[in-house]
Amino acid sequence: MSQDDVSRRRKLLVLGNGMAAGRVLEELFARAPDRYDVTIFGAEPRVNYDRIMLSPVLAGEKKFDDIVVHDDAWYAKHNVDLRKGETVVAIDRAARNVRTHSGIVERYDDLIIATGSRPILIPVPGAELPGVVTFRDLDDVNAMLAAASGGGNAVVIGGGLLGLEAAAGLAANGMRTTVVHLMPTLMERQLDPNAAYLLQKAIEKRGIEVLTSANTNAILGDTHVTGVRLEDGRTLSADLVVMAVGIRPNIALAKEAGLEVKRGVIVDDLLRTSDENIFAVGECVEHRGQCYGLVAPLYEMAKTLAASLAGEQVSGYTGSATSTKLKVTGVDLFSAGDFSEGNENDEVVLRDPRRGIYKRVILRDNKIIGAVLYGDTADGSWYFDLLKKGADIAEMRDTLIFGQAYQGGVPMDPAAAIAALSEDAEICGCNGVCKGAISQAIITKGLTTIDDVRAQTKASSSCGQCTSKVESILKFTLGDSYSAAGRKAMCKCTDLTHEEVRGFIISKSLKSVPAVMQELGWKTSCGCPTCRPAMNYYLLCAWPGEYRDDAQSRYINERVHANIQKDGTFSIVPRMWGGVTTPDELRAIADVAERFNIKTVKVTGGQRIDLLGFKKSDLPAAWAQLNAAGLMSGAAYAKGLRTVKTCVGSEWCRFGTQDSTGLGIKLERFLCGSWTPAKLKLGVSGCPRNCAEATVKDIGIICVESGYDIHIAGAAGLHVRGTDLLGHVDTEEDAIEYVAAFMQLYREQAAYLERVWKWVEKYGLDRVRTEIMDDHDGRKALLERFQKSQLAVRRDPWAERAAGRELHEFTPLAALAPITAVAAE
């Protein structure tokens, strides 16, 4: 682009880096990528993230990285100047510039105010005490998680959406939680009393106490909150108080600048304020007397504003109908429109007490004006679409309550039901994505999988409740080609994918193989050799130290710690740390070979010795003898760490730059016993001559004069693939830390039996580099979870049985020292 082109660009300043502002820029760059130079001032010291997914982060179901909307690379790609942690304190409309808290002055041609909202703090004594938090951003979540780490009591003031999501998250983190709600029923603005009753029962089943018609009188404590006193005199013990009583538009900056404000910043249908060069969008806005606190209206505003800024002719934003979903795992709830009592209203109600289902559709003049669904929300999108369009439902009145599938006399399958929805029917409320946008993306961009659709449209990328609808659109749009190109079930026992099973294990807190099969509707009574090992792995990964490894869900090789051969005998491969052994170890191996008449003793490609031809009945005695000599299984059968191949390095080789043998031994001792989705092989070469063949390993390290180059995703089997460079580190300790963090990321994200190279190609090399090399806090968290899982590794059952003792305890990274053995399981 020429300098003239750059100079002709208008200067756009955006005040706020939330979801509304982010969606405006997405739409603007898609329509007119070269129209503006964009600078964003964001009060938070981080990139744009999905605030509506803070509840799953609090509950431990997602990490911050999972909810990032725009990472640093996105801003760089679009040449956006993002000023993190920089708050604008004044707008000079005459000079067309803004001033920040640090004194920076920046001019603009056009300005967008997207300052969002502020949480309401009830004016009671003690409201400013440490330990009183709100629930609006990641800092609030981190404060709640820090408080929850010590256990104790939490009081959540407010029984609306955010309050209940906060309570569920705190309870999931081990706090004794009480919800205090002023009104007689929960979520009274979104639910009728019947649905609220069912919701309260569900919340209380989670161990959360619910107090309705309860008014807070004071928050107690001197230097930190200790309790909450209610108006009726009751006192609740509290180590943490969460205020979730509502929000109000953040209009202070606009008001100070002299813009027209009431409850929010007043805007017209083009989202223009009373100043023709200043626009506003999101929760800070008041449009036609209405302020919105849900994401779908914000996205509709953003689309209109982006089109206007791009110079397009637009009809303007006319307001939004809104719907509500609660993001508490296991609670299905949908609400839309007006469900208040009225003589002119008609209603249709369905109750199924045994299944915990309640549905109520409110009608006026044969049109839906409101709907409340609890327990079965599958038809929420359909009712909402009929409501928004003002459709006449007279002909379907008798079957309306049974949902879309029962219209026309013949039940529809899910794909046909989706096909019957209009193109502008909302499918993903979290991200404001309609059916037509998904269909168009599938056709024009050649999308074939759920992941493709998520990446292109964001549909189903947040809470995931619309995944089945998105899948139905895929199935309908692709027709017969869908089964070949679309999702792949884990096995014949279930229609769920590996990713879905893993997600449900975490979200539903499933902690045994029978629990997974029962709760997820397995088609077989006991599973199969494909799904049982996968379930066992996902449970181990999700609940280290809590889930007890199921031996019957492991392959025979893993159960006996030996590889079965084609003649039915077994081979044993003792571990040799980094390929290094001693005369005593060699004598012990020779003694076992002689005692059990082993005819073939072979050196493996992994620098170890393989003893072939053991009878299964001899394996316990053979392992007992090897254990007594300090030898343990090399896990040559494992879906886990197998070998760390090394060269002699700087200690012996004239070309060696670092002690590759020593580093290889430390790595193997640190990582040993770890389970992974598939077998894992490492190599450490002492110089770029690469004698340990590190560049065809799952993880390889090349020692250089300045430190260590870490490589990943190599393969040397049926598929030969050279590694990709992950990055460079300076010290051995860094090398071990970065490798362990990468292993943990692979363990948490890859499907069972998915090799490293396949997973990296799917997950994205750039994304891996960002999470391991660039994100210091994220990497440390991965390392911490890895070490926690290693501490939970149990003893080798054969070693325990034969030797009657634990051979090795996991050595943390900070205390690596020569040690003798590691438990294989």
Please give, one letter per residue, the 3-state secondary structure of 44-56. CCCCEECHHHHHH
Give the number of other CB atoms < 10 A from CB of residue 213. Answer: 12
Give the H or E element holding residue 15.
strand 10-15
647 annotated to a ligand binding site = yes
What pLDDT, in 10s, does the model give residues 570-609?
Answer: 999 999 999 999 999 999 999 999 999 998 999 998 999 9
Residue 806 confidence (pLDDT):
35
Count of helices and strands (H, E) across the chain? 27, 40
Q: Are 219 and 241 in contact (CB under 8 A)?
A: yes
Phi, psi of 285 (to 5 degrees): -90, 145
Residue 496 confidence (pLDDT):
87
Q: Which CATH architecture describes the domain 3-118+249-309?
A: 3-Layer(bba) Sandwich (3.50)
Could you check whether 132-245 and 643-792 share the same CATH topology? no
Give the H or E element holding residue 644.
strand 641-646
- The Cα 719–Cα 711 span in angstroms is 17
Residue 815 confidence (pLDDT):
42
Residue 818 confidence (pLDDT):
31
Domain 132-245 annotated CATH 3.30.9.10: no
- Residue that is written with structure tokens 């660009």 in the block: 9
Give the number of other CB atoms < 10 A from CB of residue 98. Answer: 23
Q: Is the dihedral of CA 469, 474, 479, 484 positive or negative?
A: negative
- The Cα 177–Cα 163 span in angstroms is 11
Contacts of 494 (CB under 8 A, 6+ apart): 501, 520, 521, 522, 523, 531
Q: Are 170 and 184 in contact (CB under 8 A)?
A: no
What pLDDT, in 10s, does the model give residues 225-271?
Answer: 999 999 999 999 999 999 999 999 999 999 999 999 999 999 999 99
Q: Which CATH architecture describes the domain 557-628?
A: Alpha-Beta Complex (3.90)
- Please report, for residues 9, 16, 42, 365, 819, the alpha-carbon distance to residue 113 in angstroms, rounded to integers and kept in the order given: 20, 7, 11, 40, 60
Domain ranges of the chain: 3-118+249-309, 132-245, 498-554, 557-628, 643-792
Burial (CB count within 10 angstroms: exposed 0-12, middle 13-18, buried 19+), residue 551 = exposed
Q: 345 by DSSP, 3-state: which?
A: coil
Residue 824, both tokens: 């294989």
**Residues of the chain below pLDDT 50:** 1-3, 410, 484, 794-825
Q: Are 164 and 187 in contact (CB under 8 A)?
A: yes
Residue 473 confidence (pLDDT):
86
Give the number of other CB atoms < 10 A from CB of residue 89. Answer: 13
Residue 467 confidence (pLDDT):
78
Angle between helix 467-478 and helix 435-445 axes, rounded to 10 deg: 50
Residue 261 confidence (pLDDT):
97
653 annotated to a ligand binding site = yes
- The Cα 297–Cα 281 span in angstroms is 10
- The Cα 645–Cα 199 span in angstroms is 57
691 annotated to a ligand binding site = yes
CA–chain centroid gap for 677, Å, is 19
Residue 547 confidence (pLDDT):
86
Which CATH superfamily does the domain covering 643-792 fall into? Sulfite Reductase Hemoprotein, domain 1 (3.30.413.10)
Burial (CB count within 10 angstroms: exposed 0-12, middle 13-18, buried 19+), residue 792 = middle
Residue 103, both tokens: 């004194």
Residue 341 confidence (pLDDT):
66
